[in-house]
Structure 1
Amino acid sequence: MSEAELVVDGHELTNCIATGNVSQVWEATNTATGQSVAMKLLLPEALTDADHKRMFKHEVSVIKQLEHPNIIRYIDSTLNKKQHYYTMELFRSSNLKSLIRADLHSVHLRLRKLMECCAQAFGYMHEKGWIHKDIKPDNILMTKGSEVRVIDFSLASKGSSSMGHMMTRKKNIVIQGTRTYIAPELIRREKLTPAADIYSLGILFYETLTGRPPFMAGNPNELLMMHVRDQPDLPSSYHPNIHPEADALVMKMLSKKVKDRHESMQQVFSEVRSVKLFRQEPEEFKKAKMAKTAEEQATTVDQRLDSRADHQRTSSGAPAPPKPAPAKPKTATPAAEKPAAATPPSRAPQAAPPVPASQHQPMMPQQPMQYPPMQQPYMPQYPGAQYPM
């Protein structure tokens, strides 16, 4: 945007929060009051498309009717030929999708509060006659203090409304950005009911528990067929700390048949409050996992050091440390032999003849070897001099 475009009806756009195919969300400041708001505006190229303008007007009409602590608060809007925008409360937080990717453990610490807030927000919408139809982590905001807001009502509809029929007829609108979270009955073009939101919220719960959605495929059509055809694995098969009661909650929400799911979001809310989500508290589970990892790493280091020592000894040609020799078996002491018979005395040996005195020579003492003095290095001696020059 140019500098002139960064001011919209007395609102200075200061920071682009998100950009979509046809719209942007900006942090903006009301130049008259100084109030900071979030502004969602239709991009100029989208203003020439009648369907985009109609959907934007529809979103504004929905959010105007919703007042709930867990739904983003609407402030004002302008819809004319030059621009389409609306302002809402500025809720400084990350969306749930980015939180799951960045730190799943942190999400687990706040998971029950998150589930309760979502069930209450969508239950309120259903009471007002609206079905969100685009429930996914990208459309949930959560702060570190566990405050939650639901956003983006562009696909919201009432099952019998013309907007609802239009959205269930047009493939590009129904599945755009929602293939991972769409209910089977919407894929089969069946009647739209609040149960579709229960299914989508079940997938969101599954992802917050495990860090991944239940169905993943490289082919978009195959992904849609998995919703219709395949049974998901239990959440606990991807995360060992998930309690069986949490498995049961999510699997019921993900039932293929509408009649097998919870009857309402109020039922979901009640069950969320009563079930056990984890076998251990997330913080205790994390500490135990870290301790186990540290122990395994220490064992691995010891094994590597032993292997390295063996390798160095083999490479240098040094023999391996000798193995202790096996102890020799003790042998029995032989019995004492009988003394041999006495040998008869023989003739005494004759003495050697005496050596003449002339042959006796005194032994000369051995001369000691000459060594240089220990206090100074050995230097050769020269005639006529005592020290080298």
Structure 2
Amino acid sequence: MGPPPPDAGAAGTMRRGSVIAGRYRLDHPLATGGMARVWTATDEVLGRRVAVKLLLEHYLADASFVRRFRAEALAAARLTHPSVVAVYDTCSDDGVEAIVMELVDGSTLRAHMDARGPLPAEEACRIAGRVAEALAVAHKAQIVHRDIKPANVLLSTSGRVVVTDFGIAKASEVGDLTTDRQMLGTAKYLAPEQVEGAPVDGRSDLYALGVVLFEMLCGRVPFLSDTEAATALARLHQDPPPPRSLRPDLSPELEQVVLRLLARDPDDRWPDAASLARTLGAVAAGNALPPLPAPPAPRPAPAARATAAAPSPAPHGAPVAPGPPPRAPAPPPTDVAPAERGPRRRGAPTVFVVALLALAALVVGALAWRLLSPGGTEQVRPAATAFDPFGTDGENDPDEGRASDGDPATTWSTETYNDGPVVADYKEGGDGVGLALDLGEERAVDELVLTSPSTGWDARVYVLADAPAADVASWGEPAATGEDLPADARFALDGAEGRYVLLWITRTTDEGQVVVAEASVEART
């Protein structure tokens, strides 16, 4: 994107100070894309800064572009998540098509990578994990983004990662906006099925995210040719280079994650965005990776074939799922009559023995599949209670329910400590505050996920069978710890069992406070 050209049309003729829909005053142009121009603006009714996206004039006469532009607003407005840009309003009058959105202060991932080059693995996985969380929400709503790329990922100054530009997204109930096999998306990040004009689903977004993750880690995309067409076509006939061939310090497990995302066949890719987000979150937190989801077993050959076809190879470095043994080839034809073959030698394998061996292999394969496949999890929104065992006036107790009410706009916060950050000495009592999260019953807990604008604070997380007492020593060892935490912190709890998850804040921000907008728990089903 670059500065707006002088002849861009209606969106280009808008000037600083122009007012859209009687309330949105344009302040500064931010960027121009293929379909629209984005401005910073002021909502003069609510007195807040917003972003306004204006469809370029030469697309206003094209009904399909107008439909696609409006579909963006409808698609994004249905999604509520800290990593999805919020849509506030739409305008469609006086020859103007506009979408009014949340203004995210910060820069794009594209600008960040251009300035920094390859990113540390933990940072790259944190960013990709947040994008995967946004995609999980979109895919659950039957929305495919179709254009995941660094320019559509915003990095806010508060630490949020926000996915924007659903301009070519497709919701299941919206008519097909890609008729005539029109290829949409940016060539570097297209999935093979998009290049071929085939139907797409959420796995196409995961492929694009794999390209973005590859680029964050290696400083380049896996496929790049002289033209956009050649770049797009390269992925149909070539395997991506293993990331460790470009960056040897990466772990083999992370390389498997990337290559699994970049599988040519959608059936061989990572199965869903939610489990991908959990895996990338574990890498970002410096924890061991959970078991990678096993790829599907090779598809059986058509019944009409005389022999079994060899299964297509798995992506380089990807774990291979156990499966049934290959069917033995038929014996070669012979003209020798059965009576002339002589008696069967003692000890020769019989059909019965072969069947037993095949059955044993199937049992072993099934057991291995069961052991290697991750258990199912679900998001639990616990009841939240402020916990201040060493204070006397509570800790904003009337607001405690806001920490898990499903609305990121409502928050709970600690009190503001004017004498500096709160510090709690582990197992020695002292000042400290927390948030006790009641799951309602004992569960095996994999992760605590926090949505918070606060940064630079420390915490420990405990999983307890009973409600926490004032005796810190009775809590045992923490299930997870975090220091100098970013916004939207995550704590991997590795299946710790208990009814209560205690977020124990041992150091607040330098401003003497910690704010929690949403707290949720991933628990095993």
Structures share fold, TM-score greater than 0.5: yes
| Of 4-13 and 118-127, the range deviating more from structure 2 | 4-13
Find the counterpart in structure 2 of residue 187 from structure 1: 195
After TM superposition, list the pairs within 5 Å mapping 1:170-249 onto structure 2.
170-171=181-182, 174-175=183-184, 177-249=185-257
Identify which of 273, 282, 288 aligns with 1:265: 273
Identify which of 155, 169, 172 aligns with 2:180: 169
Per-residue deviation, residues 262-318 of structure 1 (Å, max 9, x unmatched): 11112212322344899xxxxxxxxxxxxxxxxxxxxxxxxxxxxxxxxxxxxxxxx
After TM superposition, list the pairs within 5 Å mapping 1:363-382 onto structure 2.
none
- Aligned-partner residue type, residue 6 of structure 1: S
Find the counterpart in structure 2 of residue 86 from structure 1: 99
CA contact (8 A) 1:243 1:277 kept: no
CA contact (8 A) 2:118 2:217 kept: no
CA contact (8 A) 2:188 2:228 kept: no
| Of 112-121 and 66-75, the range deviating more from structure 2 | 112-121
Q: Establish whether residue 140 from structure 1 lines up as the match of residue 148 from structure 2.
A: no
Per-residue deviation, residues 172-208 of structure 1 (Å, max 9, x unmatched): xx24x51111111222233322111111111111011
- Residues 52, 5 of structure 1: alpha-carbon distance in 2 compared, 3 angstrom cutoff: farther
How far off its partner does 1:249 sit? 0.5
Identify which of 21, 28, 37 aligns with 1:15: 28
How far off its partner does 1:110 sit? 2.6
CA contact (8 A) 2:17 2:27 kept: no
Structure with greater proportional helix content: 1
Q: What root-mean-square deviation, in Å, do the aligned CA atoms of Structure 1 and Structure 2 show?
A: 2.4
Identify which of 252, 264, 268 aligns with 1:256: 264
Tell me how far apart the structure 1 counterparts of residues 254 and 16 of structure 2 sit (CA, whole Å). 52
After TM superposition, list the pairs within 5 Å mapping 1:29-68 onto structure 2.
29-68=42-81
How far off its partner does 1:100 sit? 0.5
Identify which of 115, 138, 157 aligns with 1:125: 138
CA contact (8 A) 1:110 1:146 kept: no
Find the counterpart in structure 2 of residue 149 from structure 1: 162
| Of 237-246 and 132-141, the range deviating more from structure 2 | 237-246
- Aligned-partner residue type, residue 135 of structure 1: I
How far off its partner does 1:107 sit? 6.2
Identify which of 69, 90, 108 aligns with 1:95: 108
Tell me how far apart the structure 1 counterparts of residues 248 and 285 of structure 2 sit (CA, whole Å). 12
SS at match of 1:167: coil
CA contact (8 A) 1:14 1:26 kept: yes
Q: Establish whether residue 26 from structure 1 lines up as the match of residue 39 from structure 2.
A: yes
* Identical-pair percentage: 27
- Residues 257, 106 of structure 1: alpha-carbon distance in 2 compared, 3 angstrom cutoff: closer
Structure with greater proportional strand content: 2
Find the counterpart in structure 1 of residue 469 from structure 2: none
CA contact (8 A) 1:246 1:277 kept: no
Tell me how far apart the structure 1 counterparts of residues 210 and 78 of structure 2 sit (CA, whole Å). 25
How far off its partner does 1:162 sit? 2.5
Tell me how far apart the structure 2 counterparts of residues 21 and 245 of structure 1 sit (CA, whole Å). 38
Structure 1 gap ranges (5+): 279-389
After TM superposition, list the pairs within 5 Å mapping 1:229-378 onto structure 2.
229-275=237-283
Instruction: Kindly tell me the number of residue pairs found equivalent between the two proteins.
Output: 274
SS at match of 2:42: strand
CA contact (8 A) 1:72 1:88 kept: yes
- Aligned-partner residue type, residue 136 of structure 2: G
- Aligned-partner residue type, residue 7 of structure 1: V
- Residues 170, 185 of structure 1: alpha-carbon distance in 2 compared, 3 angstrom cutoff: closer
Structure 1 runs (4+) greater than 4 angstroms displaced? 2-5, 105-109, 275-278
Tell me how far apart the structure 2 counterparts of residues 33 and 188 of structure 1 sit (CA, whole Å). 46
How far off its partner does 1:111 sit? 2.4
CA contact (8 A) 2:195 2:232 kept: yes
Structure 2 gap ranges (5+): 1-12, 287-525
Find the counterpart in structure 2 of residue 6 from structure 1: 18
Per-residue deviation, residues 216-238 of structure 1 (Å, max 9, x unmatched): 01123221221111001111222
CA contact (8 A) 1:59 1:155 kept: yes
Tell me how far apart the structure 2 counterparts of residues 18 and 107 of structure 1 sit (CA, whole Å). 28
